[in-house]
């Protein structure tokens, strides 16, 4: 691929802006020699303003999502893209959230430009559990685990019952729940169905991949192949 198109696809700018970067000498090789739009240089040796380029597609990242950020770009709110370098929102192919978290849900969010990978993570047929830590308004009554595990609980205005979900009670008003599907506001609606109310919700793992302790809220990290292997339990 031509250097100009490569940089534009990585979101460094529109074609016109990238042309200007070339003219200004912002694109160099590792030794600082200025590159032209048509030069052919191994990708790892290209520098933009002295920095190595972002990874090519396919790219998958994990984000520790803070409260107050939406996963959708369709509204004017603060979005998870605001946590990333601005060029990430302009990448082609674009990065999408792997299953959305509500605005006020925190924790592990994956974003990828790899459609088949996204499908493998979210489709119930691949049975990747998503684990959430839940804080509730009222004490648990003791019957919730059985109801959630039954495979017969049907949420309001839905025709199909939920897949069985596992509940681990961790305190009077706290629990960990593992889902194997991702319906709209699922955890909140499940607890509403048993007469409770979710006060806070944090996703702590997807498949074998757990939110690392050293990834602070608002931080993100590129996933390596070994992380994807961990995710799928290889
Ligand atoms: N269930 C919810 O209710 N909200 C989320 O963000 C994720 C799962």
CA–centroid distance, residue 13 to ligand 1 (Å)? 34
| Residues 6 or more apart whose Cβ sits within 8 Å of residue 117 | 58, 60, 228
CA distance 167 to 71: 26
**Any idea which residues carry the catalytic annotation?**
102
Q: What is the pLDDT of residues 151-201, one digit of tens each?
A: 999 999 999 999 999 999 999 999 999 999 999 999 999 999 999 999 999
What pLDDT, on a 0 to 100 scale, did the predictor assign at position 36? 94
What pLDDT, on a 0 to 100 scale, did the predictor assign at position 28? 97
- Whether 188 is in the pocket of ligand 1, judged by its Cβ within 6 Å, is yes
DSSP string, 143-162: -HHHHHHSS----TT-SSPP
Give the global pTM. 0.94
Please report, in tens digits, the pLDDT of each residue of the chain (234 residues total). 789 999 999 999 999 999 999 999 999 999 999 999 988 889 999 999 999 999 999 999 999 999 999 998 776 689 999 999 999 999 999 999 999 999 999 999 999 999 999 999 999 888 899 999 999 999 999 999 999 999 999 999 999 999 999 999 999 999 999 999 999 999 999 999 999 999 999 999 999 999 999 999 999 999 999 999 999 998
CA–centroid distance, residue 188 to ligand 1 (Å)? 6
- Whether 185 is in the pocket of ligand 1, judged by its Cβ within 6 Å, is yes
């Amino acid at each position: 691929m031509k250097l100009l198109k490569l940089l534009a696809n990585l979101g460094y700018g529109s074609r016109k802006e990238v042309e200007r970067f070339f003219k200004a000498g912002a694109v160099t090789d590792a030794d600082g020699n200025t590159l032209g739009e048509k030069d052919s240089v191994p990708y790892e040796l290209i520098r933009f303003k002295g920095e190595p380029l972002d990874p090519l597609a396919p790219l998958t990242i994990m984000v520790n999502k803070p409260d107050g950020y939406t996963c959708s770009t369709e509204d004017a709110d603060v979005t998870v893209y605001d946590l990333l370098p601005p060029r990430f929102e302009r990448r082609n192919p674009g990065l999408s959230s792997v299953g959305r978290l509500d605005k006020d849900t925190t924790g592990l969010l994956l974003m990828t430009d790899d459609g088949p990978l996204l499908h493998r993570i979210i489709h119930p047929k691949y049975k990747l559990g998503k684990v959430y830590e839940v804080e509730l308004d009222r004490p648990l009554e003791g019957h919730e685990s059985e109801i959630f595990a039954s495979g017969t609980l049907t949420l309001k205005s839905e025709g199909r019952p939920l897949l069985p979900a596992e509940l681990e009670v961790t305190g009077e008003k706290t629990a960990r729940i593992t889902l194997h599907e991702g319906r709209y506001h699922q955890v909140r609606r499940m607890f509403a169905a048993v007469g409770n109310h979710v006060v806070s919700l944090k996703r702590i793992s997807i498949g074998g991949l757990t939110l690392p302790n050293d990834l602070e809220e608002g931080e993100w990290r590129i996933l390596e192949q070994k992380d994807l292997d961990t995710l799928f339990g290889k």
